[in-house]
Structure formats: structure tokens, C-alpha cells
Structure 1
């Protein structure tokens, strides 16, 4: 019997040589990236640069044409999104995936049921534990007072917070946030991100977030990875990445 891989010193995420084409469009060209424990990494780039394709390959929604992906040293290339979720990868979406007709608490319970292996939303024997975990997460995200409100009544920033809280119901090791401030008002975006980052401090997880707002990137990322035309053009601390000539030309538009 072959030995299991030693994952004690492995990066949380290791992507090597990822390639992906959609017809004549190159969405990923030899993308390689390692992310360590506890990092806060922002993925930046213009629309079509390859950010979402990268996230979709990591989470199993798209299978790369070539290359490999490992989580804590374990190969996950080609696994289904559900299998990858159970290994400790979670994501939120640019448009929150919520049940508008249900309350905030019931949305949390639905997420618990979907992420877990037993339908705690439906089975009374598991409901008390699920409610306790859900209420604890809602408190951390400043949503306890909204628990009984229907999602359809909530403003955009609160919906974003709920979507991220739902992603944490299985206590992931790697969390991917797709444009967390998209659709959020200027007044809401910094308080919302403060809440998110403070809530995540209580979880031992690594965070990758796709973001177009460079003020958010500079304030909350410990590292920036920039994409252009399906390839990674910069990978550095925020100040260094944003000063990169290619990033200024192709991403931020500050170099003419």
C-alpha cells in the first residue's frame, strides 16, 4: 500500500501549470501559484483576465486542460465541487446565492444542510446543533439582530455578509470570495470588509478574494496576485504589485 503524502509543511493551496482554453480563447496559460497558511491574497485583473477561471478551477467548477491543483498536499484536480468543499474549500459568489423568501437564520441552516452530510435543516435531531452554530456565526458577522428577517428585506451589504457567513458553516481551511464589495455602496464597503476580516480572524483559514477596488486591495490584502490575458503578471506585497509596470498598464490603468 502506498504511503499517504506528508502534508505538514505543504502550502494550503498549490496550483502548478494550469492551462484552460475555451475554443480560441486562452483563459489560463501556465498559471502557477502557492498560498500559505493564514494568507490574505487578493486576485486582481480586468474582466476576462483569468481570475474567475482560476477560482473555478480551484473549486472544481471547471476542469483544467493541463496542470495540477493540491490542497494541503492532496491532489484535488478534477474533483467535483462538492468533494472539494468537503475537503475544506468554500466560496462566496459575486451575486449572493441566497433564498430570498427565507429568513437569515433559515438560510444559514440551508447552508449547513448542503455543506454537511446530514440534512440538519430538516431533521429535528440535528436542528439544535445547527441553530447554535448558525447563531454563533451570525453574531460574529454582526447579523444576530437580522436573524428573523427575510433575505428579500435586506440591503446589499448585509446580503454579502450573509453569503460569506454561509460559506463558513463547514469551517473551511481555504475561503474564496468573488468580488465581496461588488454591488455594495461606498458607505458600506469598508465597514463590511472590516466585519468580514474581523470575523475571519477567529477561523484558522486562508483567504483569496477577487477584487476590482484597489482601495480595498491595499487595505485588506497581505499579498496581491495580478492576472492579465490568462496569465499571472505579478505576485507580491500590495505596494510592490500595484507599482508593477504591467499591473499599472493592464490592470489599474495608471500607466499610459
Structure 2
């Protein structure tokens, strides 16, 4: 298939979603090429989380179409969509605190392995090798046998993202990867995440409020306001957009 006819990794057309009188998605159209790193920005209630929840199957759009790698996914449930290649990490890591980092990885791998191989032992050799390799990529080897309850917040965030990759997803959604992380830690942490994801060949979509992180780690920024996309371009262009400055970053100058 020639490059110009390759499908987008994610394509959303005409998405609409309302909750009573509140319009959370108003004709949202987004195409994300394979391998791109895209950040979603917007104030609380702007529509970015609604978009992510529709993509991951937690919400059904009222109208519109969503395709993953050329295949329709709108209307499918979260487990079906995960099986088709979408993984998600959370703002608050979803971890088993009494288990070790490695065992959390192995449980995630068992859940992501699909129905045919789910009943293989969680400690199968190939799963352990894959888990250990991912932990090494995220610089977590020193924590491999530690209980998650003992790990600091930043390490838990990295572990949560590593767990999302156990199923070798095509598209990874990250929910505020640096929230709750100190100023001194956020760039080293994002460097670690960025390096690990580069070797995984995965398309990345992340929700982020930190505009320094957005500027440094995104190929592209999509800004939401009131259920609509108000800007979609390279980071510098979007962050200099007057509507984005007014409704998202709060940096619009007097007189605009």
C-alpha cells in the first residue's frame, strides 16, 4: 500500500456527544497519522476527556465515526477496543499496591494477551522476558521486586505506562503523565517515557495541562473548547493562537 493511501492510526469524523443540555462533543474531526505524538489541551469540561472516552469505548458517541488503523470501533466496548490495539494509562495509576512491580506487569500482560492465551500461566517465560524488558526501558529495573505500595508517585506513573504497553498497542493514550510530579522530576520523567515509547513504535495521544511539556514532547497539539476543536497544528502555532490563549492557557494579551 502506498504511503498516501495508508490509513490513519486514528480517524474521528463528525463526533457528537451531549449530556442533557451540555454539548461535550460538537462535530469533532481528528485524523492522527501512524507514529505521531499528539497532545490534547483544554480547560476542564472542554471536551478532551469526552473524546478520549469515546475513543476507548467508555462513552458511545451520539453521532459520528471512529476508526482505528482503518477499522471501525465506535460502539464497541472497552475490552474489545483494547483487544484491537488501544491502551490507556491513567492520571491516578491503576496498580495493585500489595504486589511487586513485576507481578503488576505480568497481570497486565495476562489481561492484554487475548482470550486464546489468557489461561497460560502469568509467569510464562516470554511474559517475564517482555515485562523485564519494558521495566528496563522505563528505568525501573531497580524496583522490579519491590511492592508498589513502597514506590514513589513518579515511579508508579512510569510503571502504569509500562503496564499499558504489555499488550503491544498500536495507540497509547496517556492521561496527564506529569501531574503530581515535581518540577525537577517532570522533564527527566518525560525523557524516560519518550525514549521508551520511541523503541515501541506506538502512536501516542496524551492529555496534558503543562504547556512546557506540550511544547517539548508533542509533534502536534489539538486544543478543545466547549466541545469543539479550536486549534490543531504544531505546538508553537497552537499556543500562539489567540483563542487558545483566551480559553485554554489564559495568556491572551490585553486588547485582543
TM over 0.5: same fold?
yes
Structure 2: gaps of 5 or more residues: none
* Deviation of 1:124 (Å): 3.8
Question: CA separation of 1:246/1:30 partners in 2, compared to 1, >3 Å: closer, same or farther?
Answer: same
Task: Give the distance between the partners of 1:167 and 1:124, measured in 2 at CA.
Answer: 19
Matched with 1:143 is: 140
SS of match in other structure, 2:249: coil
Match of 2:96 among 67, 75, 99: 99
Question: CA separation of 1:222/1:197 partners in 2, compared to 1, >3 Å: closer, same or farther?
Answer: same
Does the 8 A contact of 2:12 with 2:30 survive in 1? yes
Task: Give the distance between the partners of 1:214 and 1:144, measured in 2 at CA.
Answer: 30
Task: Give the distance between the partners of 1:11 and 1:125, measured in 2 at CA.
Answer: 34
Matched with 2:243 is: 246
Does the 8 A contact of 2:93 with 2:156 survive in 1? yes
Task: Give the distance between the partners of 1:138 and 1:93, measured in 2 at CA.
Answer: 18
Match of 2:174 among 163, 173, 177: 177
Q: Which moved more, 1:76-85 or 1:125-134?
A: 125-134
Structure 1 ranges of 4+ moved more than 4 A: 118-123
Alignment of 1:216-227 (within 5 A): 216-227=213-224
Per-residue CA deviations over 1:64-112 (Å, capped at 9, x if unaligned) read 0000000111111111111111111111011100001100000001101
* Deviation of 1:8 (Å): 5.7
Give the CA RMSD over aligned residues. 1.7
Taking structure 1 as the reference length, what is the TM-score of the superposition?
Answer: 0.94
Question: CA separation of 1:227/1:37 partners in 2, compared to 1, >3 Å: closer, same or farther?
Answer: same
Matched with 2:30 is: 33
Aligned length: 250
Question: CA separation of 1:221/1:172 partners in 2, compared to 1, >3 Å: closer, same or farther?
Answer: same
Match of 1:228 among 218, 225, 229: 225
Matched with 2:44 is: 47
Question: CA separation of 1:246/1:207 partners in 2, compared to 1, >3 Å: closer, same or farther?
Answer: same
Q: Does 1:113 align with 2:110?
A: yes
Task: Give the distance between the partners of 1:119 and 1:71, measured in 2 at CA.
Answer: 22
Does the 8 A contact of 2:109 with 2:122 survive in 1? no
Question: CA separation of 1:107/1:80 partners in 2, compared to 1, >3 Å: closer, same or farther?
Answer: same
Alignment of 1:1-20 (within 5 A): 9-20=6-17
Task: Give the distance between the partners of 1:77 and 1:123, measured in 2 at CA.
Answer: 31
Task: Give the distance between the partners of 2:174 and 2:226, measured in 1 at CA.
Answer: 21
Task: Give the distance between the partners of 1:170 and 1:117, measured in 2 at CA.
Answer: 9
Task: Give the distance between the partners of 1:150 and 1:213, measured in 2 at CA.
Answer: 30
Alignment of 1:154-173 (within 5 A): 154-173=151-170
